[in-house]
């Protein structure tokens, strides 16, 4: 079975083809950093417009690649299913991908399925040989979400806790902006933090004493921004602040994972979303899991942030499990939570 995946939930345009016998045949993501960087964040209208041009280009490329891969036969379908991101995300951006997915589905007479973007992030870790087995705990850390999810099986999830305000990825980006790092600043802040030294700075670890699985990062963000405003603007000092912030954010995530693993009795942790490519987070969580004799899984770095490979693969898993698809109606839900699946 071959699945064409389309991802356009925010500002990355991505197309992938997953084949259950050969794995990923095509996988390409185009970002829109040039379009949004001068605004310091994503401009929804511009994102949707950019998706239109980039998506058509990527679809054409993917089909060409596919025609090389399989001997083209007019009677045989070269793609069996289309999976597009249906939410959560920006409405204009989602509509571009959904419209493209449904249009191709009608013209090729094949089914299509709207996939939940966050479910896609969780299954991004399965795009590799070594896969986790159910049930497991998932830490989803991305630009729009910070959640601890009990994953029973495909399609069955319980949100144990989540951020009560800002998502951790968003806070990385906002703090980076204050440090004059260009959008998207999260990875750049992390690079800067590598030069940081242990200093007098010690930033708060929010909600680590509360006996639940929720997070709150807006206080840490304000605290860090106030320190930046009132302190020396030397490179070394900025790096020390970046390190103190990163250490605080990551220790908070690690302590909450530890608590959730203890309370649920689960011993497998799946870490996904853009922030899961952070090396300090990876190191600290690996350390935690080895102390608990548990298993930990991360996606490959390129599949941590938004990509269509995870959408194609999740579409494939869903098709195996449910066998039923909507083929001609465009479905998007900008606020589609994982517990509504």
For the bound state, the minimum distance from the C-beta of residue 187 to ligand ATP, rounded and expressed in Å, comes to: 4
Backbone angles phi, psi at 222, to 5 degrees: -65, -45
Choices 103-111, 157-165, 275-283, 314-322 (CB under 6 A): range interacting with ligand ATP? 275-283
Residue 184 interacts with, from Fe ion, ligand ATP, none (CB under 5-8 Å by kind)? ligand ATP
Nearer Cβ to ligand ATP (110/285):
285
E strand intervals along 120-243: 136-141, 146-153, 156-162
Q: At what angle do helices 186-193 and 279-291 cross, to 10 degrees?
A: 70
Instruction: Determine if 305 is a binding residue for ligand ATP (CB under 6 A).
Output: yes
What residues from 130 to 189 belong to the interface with Fe ion (CB under 5 A)? 142
The site that binds ligand ATP (CB under 6 A) totals a number of residues, namely 25
C-alpha–C-alpha distance, residues 34 and 310, integer Å: 24
Backbone angles phi, psi at 159, to 5 degrees: -80, 115
- Write the interaction track for ligand ATP spanning residues 183-212; mark x where CB under 6 A is met and - where it is not: -x-xx--x----------------------
| 242 three-class SS | helix
Q: Is the preceding omega at residue 268 within 30 degrees of 0, hence cis?
A: no
Residue 314 interacts with, from Fe ion, ligand ATP, none (CB under 5-8 Å by kind)? none
C-alpha–C-alpha distance, residues 281 and 250, integer Å: 6
Q: Is 124 left (phi over 0), alpha (psi -120 to 50) or beta?
A: alpha
Q: Do the bridges between strand 12-19 and strand 2-7 make them parallel or antiparallel, or are there none, so unpaired?
A: antiparallel
Q: Name beta bridge partners: 23.
A: 19
Determine how many CB atoms are found less than 10 A away from the CB of residue 332: 23
C-alpha–C-alpha distance, residues 294 and 145, integer Å: 25
**323 annotated to bind ligand:** no
Nearer Cβ to ligand ATP (252/305):
305
For the bound state, the minimum distance from the C-beta of residue 121 to Fe ion, rounded and expressed in Å, comes to: 6
Choices 31-39, 73-81, 168-176, 227-235 (CB under 6 A): range interacting with ligand ATP? 168-176
For the bound state, the minimum distance from the C-beta of residue 265 to ligand ATP, rounded and expressed in Å, comes to: 27
Residue 172 interacts with, from Fe ion, ligand ATP, none (CB under 5-8 Å by kind)? ligand ATP
Helix or strand run (H / E) with residue 17: strand 12-19
Nearer Cβ to Fe ion (89/132):
89
- Write the interaction track for ligand ATP spanning residues 115-144; mark x where CB under 6 A is met and - where it is not: --x---x--------------------xxx
Instruction: Determine if 172 is a binding residue for ligand ATP (CB under 6 A).
Output: yes
**127 annotated to bind ligand:** no
Residues 6 or more apart in contact with residue 165 via CB below 8 angstroms:
216, 217, 218
End-to-end CA distance of the chain: 24
For the bound state, the minimum distance from the C-beta of residue 69 to ligand ATP, rounded and expressed in Å, comes to: 28
For the bound state, the minimum distance from the C-beta of residue 269 to ligand ATP, rounded and expressed in Å, comes to: 17
Backbone angles phi, psi at 115, to 5 degrees: -105, 145
Q: Which residues are annotated as a binding site for substrate?
A: 140-144, 173, 186, 278
- Enumerate binding residues for ligand ATP (CB under 6 A): 9-10, 88-89, 117, 121, 142-145, 169-170, 172-173, 184, 186-187, 190, 273-275, 277-278, 305-306
- Enumerate binding residues for Fe ion (CB under 5 A): 142, 306
Q: Which residues are annotated as a binding site for Fe cation?
A: 117, 121, 306
């Amino acid at each position: 079975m071959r699945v064409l995946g389309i991802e356009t939930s925010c500002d990355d345009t991505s197309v992938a083809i997953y084949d259950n016998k050969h794995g990923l045949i095509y996988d390409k993501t185009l970002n829109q950093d040039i379009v949004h960087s001068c605004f310091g964040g994503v401009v929804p209208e511009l994102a949707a417009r950019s998706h239109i041009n980039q998506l058509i280009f990527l679809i054409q490329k993917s089909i060409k690649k596919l025609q090389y891969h399989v001997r083209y036969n007019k009677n045989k379908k070269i793609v069996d299913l289309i999976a597009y991101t249906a939410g959560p995300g920006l409405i204009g951006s989602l509509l571009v991908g959904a419209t493209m997915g449904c249009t191709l589905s009608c013209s090729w007479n094949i089914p299509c399925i709207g996939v939940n973007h966050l479910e896609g992030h969780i299954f991004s870790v399965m795009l590799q040989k070594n896969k986790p087995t159910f049930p497991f705990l998932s830490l989803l850390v991305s630009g729009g979400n910070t959640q601890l999810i009990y994953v029973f099986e495909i399609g069955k999830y319980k949100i144990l806790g989540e951020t009560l305000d800002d998502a951790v990825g968003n806070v990385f980006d906002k703090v980076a902006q204050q440090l004059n790092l260009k959008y998207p600043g999260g990875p750049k802040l992390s690079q800067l933090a590598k030069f940081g030294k242990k200093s007098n700075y010690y930033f708060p670890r929010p909600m680590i004493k509360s006996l639940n699985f929720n997070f709150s990062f807006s206080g840490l963000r304000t605290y860090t921004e106030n320190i930046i405003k009132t302190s020396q603007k030397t490179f070394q000092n900025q790096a020390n602040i970046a390190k103190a912030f990163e250490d605080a954010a990551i220790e908070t995530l690690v302590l909450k994972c530890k608590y959730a693993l203890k309370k649920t009795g689960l011993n497998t942790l799946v870490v996904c979303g853009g922030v899961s490519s952070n090396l300090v987070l990876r190191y600290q969580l690996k350390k935690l899991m080895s102390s608990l004799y548990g298993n930990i899984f991360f996606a490959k770095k390129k599949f941590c942030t938004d990509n269509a490979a995870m959408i194609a693969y999740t579409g494939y898993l869903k098709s195996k499990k449910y066998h039923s698809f909507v083929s001609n109606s465009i479905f998007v839900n900008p606020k589609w939570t994982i517990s509504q699946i």
